Structure 1
Amino acid sequence: MNGLRGVSLGRQAAPLREQVLEVLRNAILDFDLKPGQRLVERELIESLGVSRTTVREVLRELTAEGLVTVIPQKGAVVYAPTPSEAADLYAVRASLEGLAVQRFIERASARHLDRLRDALAEFEKVCATSDDMRELLRAKDGIYDALLAGADSPTVQRILAGVQARVQLLRATSMSQPGRPRKAVEEMRALVEAIADGDVTEALRLSRTHLDNASSTVATVLDDEDGATGEA
């Protein structure tokens, strides 16, 4: 299958199923497997050298995560968000992450703030030195992990976990655009500064601005893709 050439499994410590899951998840987030692309069982079996049972289990897991959609008469395809779905996901993120920011300011210790600053520094470093999407996403996740740890809100964390995979796909779409990583660093730096100052109003404004900018970037990409599809 195009996008999975050269994949080698079986030499890692993780169970085979987990290896296949990671390979396909990364291929989707790296856009080696494109949004809307069919995931044909036979091709996956041949490309990965695994059983039909393993492929089906992994596709079920990716469907549960939201990265794969099963369409009647077509089968499994890589999730392709519509502009309205993306806008709704960003609206959910804005509400939940705004609450996380507020709770962090209310509840976080000095140690939590140090962890948040360290995560920001790592994100800045990665954005300056790498264009590997998985590395960029891991570094950005580090900021959100630190934010949620300090917010100490299992409810917010649990709800965000439910949309995490689709959020990651949108995040990858946004961060893949020229100039967006640098801009994201500037936005996150300002946000962390406002949090450190204990300025709830400014921190909420900056959190919303960051997500609005990311949402606009993704909307432009999706609109362009819809236009190209329509022209075809």
Structure 2
Amino acid sequence: MAKIGLVQPDTLRQRVEDAVRNAIMSGLYLPGERLVERELCEDLGVSRASLREAMRRLEAEKLVEIIPHKGPMVAVITADEARQIYALRAVLEGYAAHEFALIATENAIEEFAAAADALKDAALKNSREDVLQAKASLYDIMLGNCGNALAQDVLKGLYSRINLLRATSLLDPSRLPKSLAEIAELTQAFRERDAGRAQDVASMHVKNACEVALRNLDE
């Protein structure tokens, strides 16, 4: 089983939770893979009590499934669940993009543009971890400046599961150039304050990613 590195002894439950979550998000542990408590405790340098508390939180996020008599494993998302997640994401992100185009400050729009450039750089390095971090920054900027905290909370609640799917689509050779082009088009729509176009592009971006993720799930 892969190892994820020692966590310092003074680490609290949150850091244990973050370490395991990041390992799942980066693809170190794959959907359906068992998470062996003894090995994780050794790798992280924490007690089973701390690990189990973190696992319960990750189970609530639906990143981990705890199987009776077997222990935790990385959650598996079915094609039907993926369709539902992406359908909701397309609606909410389209709405957030529409509102961002209308009310975001010029500084926030340029922050989004800079994050889009960082995403392109990460993609050129073919680093899934860096791509996921850059994509997270993009959404933090857009959602944090769309004027709707509820939409932000709902989407953030979905993003852990979305990242399981996003990791399979972002670096897909057939998807990556189109994804970057869509982000560039979205950036331009923001700069032009074209809310309708921003909403359409954001929704299209999600739907296109959905097609790739579903294809990868089938494979």
> Which whole-Å deviations, capped at 9, do the CAs of 1:167-216 have from their partners, x for residues lacking one?
12111121142243332111100111122222233222211221111101
> Which whole-Å deviations, capped at 9, do the CAs of 1:86-130 have from their partners, x for residues lacking one?
1111011111101101111221122222222122122122222x2
The alignment-based identity, stated in percent, is 36
> Which whole-Å deviations, capped at 9, do the CAs of 1:10-63 have from their partners, x for residues lacking one?
27xx72534432331122112221101122323323443421101101111211
Q: Structure 1 residue 200 and structure 2 residue 195: aligned?
A: yes
Q: Choose which of 168, 174, 186 in structure 2 pairs with 1:173.
A: 168
For residue 228 of structure 1, what is the aligned residue in structure 2? none
Q: TM-score, normalised by structure 2?
A: 0.90
Q: Structure 1 residue 222 and structure 2 residue 217: aligned?
A: yes
Q: TM-score, normalised by structure 1?
A: 0.86
Q: What letter is aligned with 1:38?
A: R
Mapped partners of 2:103, 2:194: distance in 1? 14
Mapped partners of 2:14, 2:128: distance in 1? 20
Q: Structure 1 residue 213 and structure 2 residue 213: aligned?
A: no
Mapped partners of 1:47, 1:149: distance in 2? 35
Q: Choose which of 137, 140, 145 in structure 2 pairs with 1:145.
A: 140
- Deviation, 1:8, is 2.2
Specify the SS of the correspondent of 1:151: coil
For residue 6 of structure 2, what is the aligned residue in structure 1? 8
For residue 64 of structure 1, what is the aligned residue in structure 2? 60
1:127–1:182 Cα contact (<8 Å) kept:
no
Q: Choose which of 15, 21, 41 in structure 2 pairs with 1:25.
A: 21
Instruction: Please list every run of 5 or more consecutive structure 1 residues that lacks an aligned counterpart in the other structure.
Output: 225-232
- Deviation, 1:78, is 0.5
2:66–2:73 Cα contact (<8 Å) kept:
yes
Structure having greater relative contact order (Cα 8 Å, sep ≥ 6): 2
Q: What letter is aligned with 1:41?
A: E
Q: How many residues align?
A: 219
1:33–1:78 Cα contact (<8 Å) kept:
yes
Q: Structure 1 residue 164 and structure 2 residue 162: aligned?
A: no
Q: What letter is aligned with 2:149?
A: P
Q: What letter is aligned with 1:152?
A: G
For residue 94 of structure 1, what is the aligned residue in structure 2? 90
* C-alpha RMSD over aligned residues: 2.0
1:113–1:150 Cα contact (<8 Å) kept:
no
1:102–1:200 Cα contact (<8 Å) kept:
yes
Summarize the alignment of residues 68-87 of structure 1 with structure 2, pairs less than 5 Å apart.
68-87=64-83
Mapped partners of 1:116, 1:30: distance in 2? 23
Q: What letter is aligned with 1:9?
A: V
Mapped partners of 1:124, 1:33: distance in 2? 25
Q: Structure 1 residue 42 and structure 2 residue 41: aligned?
A: no
Q: Structure 1 residue 131 and structure 2 residue 126: aligned?
A: yes
Mapped partners of 1:118, 1:124: distance in 2? 10
